[in-house]
Structure 1
Amino acid sequence: MDTVRHYVELYGDARFTSTTDDTRLYGERSGYWREVEGVRQWLFSTAGFKKAIGNADSKQAARLLATQGVLIPGRSKTVTQVKHSGGTSWFYVIQFNSDAE
């Protein structure tokens, strides 16, 4: 989880935009973000998630993050379908609940 948090701290403003922002992101996009009940959720594309976890296995990383309560799984998958300014896509939904994580 520290690797994913570090990735967000490094690239949050540069590689993510709000799901409601239709401004084109120049450079490498890792996903979007949205606010849910006052908490920011980071919506990682598959490519963005793989970059964030480095050389780790994506299925194992997703299971670990879900076990830790950081990844919010979809109904039957580790990814969730989310509407954004460019349409609808599947994302790994990451939510850090406190600074202690």
Structure 2
Amino acid sequence: MNRETFLGGSVLGVTIRLVLLSIVVGVILTALGITPQNFFYQINVLLRRIYDLGFGAIESVFGYLILGAMVVVPIWLIARVLKTMNRSNSKETQ
């Protein structure tokens, strides 16, 4: 497997896309009041809750899991569908 196959394109192109996407997501998260300090503070709070509450924190972790899955799973599903569509389109053109 070569570098372009792994990255999904040229190194420069992928880097530019990732930088632009990171800026857009950063602006959106800032508009929602999420900052890097706030994010790491919340992770620290989560780890303390897990340590302090023991198994009582499983409920909090489950809540975080559900909340995160609400974002991650649809994005993953859309990416897989688009990748499948691209594969079928490239096979039809051959």
TM over 0.5: no
TM-score, length-scaled by structure 1: 0.22
Relative contact order, higher structure (CA 8 A, sep 6+): 1
Larger radius of gyration: 2
TM-score, length-scaled by structure 2: 0.23
- Larger strand proportion of the pair: 1
